[in-house]
A and B are shown apart, each in its own frame.
Chain A
Amino acid sequence: MWISRALPGLAVITLFSGAAASDDPIPGNPLIELPAGPFVFGSETGNENERPRRVIEGKAFAMNKTEITNAQYQRFVDATGHRSAFYGGHPLLGLDERPVVGVSFADVAAFCDHYGLKLPSEQEYERAARGADGAPFPWGDVSADAMHVNHGSKQCCAGDDRDGYAMTAPVDSFPEGASKEGVLNLVGNVWEWTRDVYAPYQGEVPPDIAGKYRVLRGGAWNSDPSHLTTTYRLAYDPDFRFAANGGFRCVRSPD
Chain B
Amino acid sequence: MRPLAGLIALGLLSMAASAVADPVAAPGYAMEIVQEPGAIFAGLARDGDALLVTNLADGRLYRRGVDGELTAFGPALPHGADVMGDPTGPYRVARYGSAYIVAQGWTPASNDEVNYDHALLEVDETAIVRVVSNDFWNPYDFTLSGDTFFVIDAARNSVERLSADGDRATVFTFARLTASESALQTLSPTEFGDKQSYEFDAVPTGIAAHDGRLYVSLFGGFPFIAGSGRIVSLPVAGPASSARIQATDLNAPVDVVFDASGDMFVLEHGLFDRSGAWVSGSGRLLRITPSTGERQTILDGLTRPVCVLIWDDRQLVVSEIGGNLYFLTHNPETKQE
Report A's interface with B, CB cutoff 8 A.
1-2, 47, 49, 86-87, 89-91, 104, 156-158, 191, 198, 206, 208-209, 213, 216, 222, 227, 233-237, 239-246
Distance A203 CA – B10 CA, assembled complex (angstroms): 36
Which B residues are in CB contact (< 8 Å) with A244?
7-10
Is B6 a contact of A236 with CB atoms below 8 Å?
yes
Which B residues are in CB contact (< 8 Å) with A235?
188-191
Is B191 a contact of A198 with CB atoms below 8 Å?
no
Q: Which of B43-51, B64-72, B80-88, B293-301 contacts A (4 or more CB under 8 A)?
A: B80-88
Classify chain B: how many residues form its interface, as a range: 20 to 34
Which A residues are in CB contact (< 8 Å) with B187?
236-237, 240
- For B8, give its contact among A49, A213, A237, A245 (CB under 8 Å): A245
Which B residues are in CB contact (< 8 Å) with A241?
275
How many residue pairs between the two chains, A and B, have CB atoms under 8 Å in the bound complex? Answer: 90
Q: Which of B148-171 contact A (CB under 8 A)?
A: none
Which B residues are in CB contact (< 8 Å) with A191?
6-7
Which B residues are in CB contact (< 8 Å) with A239?
274-275
Is A237 a contact of B83 with CB atoms below 8 Å?
no
For the complex, is B5 an interface residue (Cβ under 8 Å from A)?
Answer: yes
For the complex, is B236 an interface residue (Cβ under 8 Å from A)?
Answer: no
Subset of 28 A-B contacts with CB under 8 Å: A1-B106, A1-B113, A2-B83, A2-B106, A47-B190, A90-B10, A157-B5, A158-B3, A191-B7, A198-B190, A206-B189, A209-B189, A222-B8, A227-B6, A234-B190, A235-B190, A236-B188, A236-B191, A237-B187, A240-B187, A242-B9, A242-B222, A242-B277, A243-B9, A244-B7, A244-B9, A244-B10, A245-B7
Q: Which of B1-53 contact A (CB under 8 A)?
A: 2-10, 13
Is A1 a contact of B117 with CB atoms below 8 Å?
yes
Is B188 a contact of A1 with CB atoms below 8 Å?
no
Is B189 a contact of A91 with CB atoms below 8 Å?
no
**How many whole Å from B129's CB to the nearest CB in chain A?**
22
Which B residues are in CB contact (< 8 Å) with A243?
7-9
Distance A87 CA – B10 CA, assembled complex (angstroms): 9
Q: Known contacts A1-B137, A209-B189, A242-B274: does B83 contact A91 (CB below 8 Å)?
A: yes
- For B190, give its contact among A104, A233, A245 (CB under 8 Å): A233
For the complex, is B186 an interface residue (Cβ under 8 Å from A)?
Answer: yes
**How many whole Å from B73's CB to the nearest CB in chain A?**
27
Q: Known contacts A1-B106, A89-B109: does B189 contact A156 (CB below 8 Å)?
A: no
From A2, A49, A156, A209, name the one whose CB has the most chain B CB atoms within 10 angstroms.
A2
Which B residues are in CB contact (< 8 Å) with A104?
275
Is B190 a contact of A246 with CB atoms below 8 Å?
no
Distance A47 CA – B5 CA, assembled complex (angstroms): 15
Q: Known contacts A1-B137, A89-B109, A198-B189: does B83 contact A236 (CB below 8 Å)?
A: no
Which B residues are in CB contact (< 8 Å) with A86?
13
Q: Known contacts A1-B106, A89-B109, A244-B10: does B5 contact A227 (CB below 8 Å)?
A: yes
Which B residues are in CB contact (< 8 Å) with A157?
3-5, 8
For the complex, is B217 an interface residue (Cβ under 8 Å from A)?
Answer: no
Which B residues are in CB contact (< 8 Å) with A198?
189-190
- Kindly list the 9 A-B residue pairs having the minimum CB-CB distance in the complex, ordered from nearest: A243-B7, A242-B9, A239-B275, A235-B190, A244-B10, A246-B7, A236-B188, A209-B189, A2-B83
Distance A240 CA – B13 CA, assembled complex (angstroms): 12
Distance A208 CA – B188 CA, assembled complex (angstroms): 12
Which B residues are in CB contact (< 8 Å) with A245?
7-8
Distance A104 CA – B85 CA, assembled complex (angstroms): 18
- For B2, give its contact among A87, A156, A209 (CB under 8 Å): A156
Distance A169 CA – B62 CA, assembled complex (angstroms): 43
Distance A91 CA – B188 CA, assembled complex (angstroms): 28
**How many whole Å from A205's CB to the nearest CB in chain B?**
11
For the complex, is B303 an interface residue (Cβ under 8 Å from A)?
Answer: no
For the complex, is B118 an interface residue (Cβ under 8 Å from A)?
Answer: yes
